[in-house]
């Protein structure tokens, strides 16, 4: 079971969370302008990365708030947790391996960016 | 010591070096890749072909599934595909000259709510119209088919009946792979293990070959049968698939004398159980929620399916879990597979079978081989083309046939 660090409530069991799939998939600015192919891409095509992946989680049995996370889809390790609406952090994007980062360059707490969040 | 050992049994296939070129290359030496090669050689006379397997033959999902075979799907397209598969299963032991313990012991899909009952009865009627054997059983009849089920009203979700497909069953999956492999090899197919594809070569919008850790291979037809890693492989060819990879777990108990005569599936409390020939109780449930390639999942998923199993089968309370494992399955948004040409000429995709690929092995091979050989889909897999996500002709088996395949 994953231990997920909810930015508002702290680390909780995976069973308290709902998975929201790929993060940063914006609703099309003008849906009527899309071709069938583009509409299919929006509805049915999602990235399926092997390695670091930006995804959404909701603490559905806790504070019920959504947040973004960067997680490795092979090791299942979380490298970053950041608020909805914030761009994907660069550090996680550039890093090839979660474990490699931890050894080489200590990262800020994964919930950095949630200053003032009640824990 | 060595002189006391019995003779090593004959190998069932050669281990050839890859040639410089083939008429077609199949990526993935699991059930679907083997079945595809078998039907390409047998039905379409294409024997100058190779199966490239990154690890060892049938070491991926073909060794990890719970071996359930059935065809009682709701929608016409699904019933046609899976019923074709079941009919092929019925003739394959003789055709492949290999007794892989295909056992038509039936499958029960239990109903636990009024909604379940209505959906199940609708599915039985749809199956009847499609020539698929199916019947509705009341709780007493369920008990007759499978005496160890608790049909009392002391359950949180009592058994209100179930659908029964007598021709469904199980088979021994590793033997199925070996049976296909031996026949493919006899017909001249090169089965190349420990050969990882590292790139797919294109000139313009045409495939011209594959790069592997054992050299480049020229070919004009590349067929992908790599459930779990389909997106990663497709990315090498520069295309995107509407697939998400998820971990799916299963487990077995220690060996028992025969207690469970059929296959029982329950979507509502979410577990499926059969008893293997050797005696293990084999169980599975749904996928882990998140995208994953790690071939493992969360223990709470195992815990939930065991809770469901023990409630349905009180005698299982004394059984022990011997082993749990995970595989990675391809999930599409409509829970139906993709057996299709792609936007790249000569590149074919067989993927997205989700949690139900094993039962589809023969039909996947049969229709995919037709698609590769003729560069046109067979009528059975025409609805399973990639363009259904653009046209909207989805085959929505999510919740229709049975969530668990």
What's the mean pLDDT when you consider all of chain B?
Answer: 95
Return the bridge partners of B235, or none.
none
Q: What is the average pLDDT across A59-83? A: 97
Contact B389 A40 (CB under 8 A): yes
Q: Determine phi and psi for B30, rounding to 5 degrees.
A: -100, -165
List all residues 6 or more positions away from B208 whose beta carbon is below 8 Å from its beta carbon: B201, B202, B218, B219, B220
Please determine, for residue A99, whether its predicted confidence score (pLDDT) is greater than 60. Answer: no
pLDDT tens-place string over residues B395-404: 998 755 444 4
pLDDT tens-place string over residues B129-161: 999 999 999 999 999 999 999 999 999 999 999
Cβ–Cβ pairs < 8 A, chains A and B: 64
CA–CA distance, B225 with B222 (Å, rounded to integer): 10
CA–CA distance, A30 with B188 (Å, rounded to integer): 55
The domains of chain A are located at 3-104
The predicted pLDDT at position B9 comes to 83
B1: pLDDT confidence band, cut at 50, 70 and 90? low
CA angle, residues B163, B165, B169, in degrees to nearest 5: 125
* Strand order across the A18-22 sheet: A18-22, A52-58, A66-72, A78-82
A106: pLDDT confidence band, cut at 50, 70 and 90? very low
Residues in chain B within 8 Å Cβ distance of A97: none
Mutate which of B196, B288, B293 to test chain A, going by most A C-beta atoms within 10 A?
A: B293
Burial profile B198-210: b = 16 or more Cβ within 10 angstroms, e = fewer = eebbbeeeebebb
The predicted pLDDT at position B399 comes to 56
pLDDT tens-place string over residues B189-198: 999 999 999 9
pLDDT tens-place string over residues B291-306: 999 999 999 999 999 9
Please determine, for residue A84, whether its predicted confidence score (pLDDT) is greater than 90. Answer: yes
Please determine, for residue B354, whether its predicted confidence score (pLDDT) is greater than 70. Answer: yes
Q: Which of B355, B335, B381 is nearest to B68 (CA)?
A: B355
List all residues 6 or more positions away from B5 whose beta carbon is below 8 Å from its beta carbon: none
Contact A45 B240 (CB under 8 A): yes
pLDDT tens-place string over residues B160-174: 999 999 999 999 999
The DSSP output letter for B317 is: G
Residues in chain B within 8 Å Cβ distance of A1: 298-300
Nearest to A19 among B241, B290, B389 (CB): B290
Q: How distant, in Å, are the alpha carbons of A74, B176, B335 from that of A104?
A: 20, 47, 42
β-strands A18-22, A52-58: how paired? antiparallel
Q: Which of B405, B341, B305, B306 is nearest to B68 (CA)?
A: B405
CA–CA distance, A1 with B335 (Å, rounded to integer): 25
What percent of chain B lies above the pLDDT cut of 90?
A: 93
Residues in chain B within 8 Å Cβ distance of A19: 289-290
CA–CA distance, B285 with A70 (Å, rounded to integer): 27
Interface of chain A toward chain B, CB-CB under 8 angstroms: 1-2, 13-15, 18-19, 21, 36-37, 39-41, 43-46, 48-50, 53, 55, 71, 73-76
Q: Measure B230 CA to nearest chain A CA, in Å.
A: 9
The predicted pLDDT at position A90 comes to 79
Interface of chain B toward chain A, CB-CB under 8 angstroms: 229, 231-232, 240-245, 289-294, 298-300, 332-333, 389-391
> Which residue does chain A place closest to B304, by CA atoms?
A15
Mutate which of A23, A50, A98 to test chain B, going by most B C-beta atoms within 10 A?
A: A50
Q: Determine phi and psi for B175, rounding to 5 degrees.
A: -70, -35
Return the bridge partners of B321, or none.
B253
The predicted pLDDT at position B106 comes to 98
ipTM: 0.92
Burial profile B345-382: b = 16 or more Cβ within 10 angstroms, e = fewer = ebbbbbbbbbbbbbbbbbbbbbbbbbbbbeeebbebbe
The predicted pLDDT at position A91 comes to 57
CATH class of the region A3-104: alpha beta
Contact A44 B229 (CB under 8 A): no
Model's pTM, two decimal places? 0.92
The predicted pLDDT at position B404 comes to 47
């Amino acid at each position: 079971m994953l231990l997920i660090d909810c930015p508002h409530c702290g680390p909780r069991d995976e069973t308290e969370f709902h998975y929201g799939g790929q993060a940063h998939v914006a609703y099309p600015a003008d849906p009527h302008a899309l071709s069938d192919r583009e509409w299919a891409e929006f509805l049915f095509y999602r990235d399926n990365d092997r390695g670091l992946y930006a995804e959404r989680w909701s603490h559905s049995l806790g504070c019920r708030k959504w947040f973004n996370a960067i997680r490795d889809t092979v090791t299942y390790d979380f490298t970053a947790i950041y608020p909805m609406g914030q761009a994907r952090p660069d550090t996680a994007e550039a890093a090839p391996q979660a474990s490699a980062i931890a050894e080489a360059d200590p990262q800020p707490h994964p919930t950095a960016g949630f200053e003032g969040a009640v824990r | 010591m060595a002189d006391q050992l019995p003779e090593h049994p004959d190998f069932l296939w050669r281990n050839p070096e890859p040639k410089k070129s083939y008429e077609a290359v199949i990526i993935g030496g699991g059930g679907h890749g083997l079945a595809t090669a078998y039907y390409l050689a047998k039905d379409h006379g294409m024997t100058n072909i190779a199966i490239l397997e990154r690890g060892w033959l049938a070491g991926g999902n073909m060794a990890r599934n719970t071996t359930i075979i059935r065809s009682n799907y709701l929608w016409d397209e699904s019933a046609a595909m899976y019923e074709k598969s079941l009919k092929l299963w019925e003739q394959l032991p003789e055709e492949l000259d290999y007794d892989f313990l295909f056992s038509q012991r039936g499958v029960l899909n239990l109903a636990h709510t009024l909604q379940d009952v209505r959906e199940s009865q609708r599915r039985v009627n749809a199956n009847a119209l499609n020539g698929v054997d199916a019947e509705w059983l009341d709780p007493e009849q369920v008990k007759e088919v499978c005496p160890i089920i608790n049909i009392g009203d002391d359950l949180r979700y009592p058994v209100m009946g179930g659908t029964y497909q007598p021709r469904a069953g199980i088979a021994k999956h590793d033997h199925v792979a070996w049976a296909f492999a031996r026949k493919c090899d006899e017909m001249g197919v090169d089965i190349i293990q420990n050969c990882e594809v590292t790139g797919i070569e294109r000139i313009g919008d045409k495939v011209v070959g594959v790069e592997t850790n054992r050299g480049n291979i020229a070919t004009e037809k590349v067929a992908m049968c790599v459930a779990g890693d389909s997106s990663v492989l497709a990315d090498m060819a520069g295309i995107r698939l509407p697939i998400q990879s998820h971990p799916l777990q299963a487990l077995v108990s220690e060996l028992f004398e025969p207690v469970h005569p059929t296959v029982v599936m329950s979507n509502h409390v979410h577990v499926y159980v059969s008893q293997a020939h050797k005696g293990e109780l084999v169980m599975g449930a749904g996928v882990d929620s998140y995208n994953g390639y790690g071939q493992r999942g969360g223990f709470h998923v195992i815990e939930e399916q065991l809770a469901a199993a023990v409630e349905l089968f009180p005698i299982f309370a004394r059984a022990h879990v011997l082993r749990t494992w995970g595989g990675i399955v391809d999930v599409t948004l409509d829970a139906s597979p993709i057996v299709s040409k792609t936007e790249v000429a000569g590149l074919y995709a067989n993927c997205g079978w989700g949690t139900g690929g094993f039962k589809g092995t023969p039909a996947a091979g049969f229709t995919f081989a037709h698609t590769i050989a003729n560069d046109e889909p067979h009528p059975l897999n025409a609805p399973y083309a990639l363009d259904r996500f653009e046209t909207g002709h989805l085959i929505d088996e999510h919740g229709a046939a049975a969530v668990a395949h």
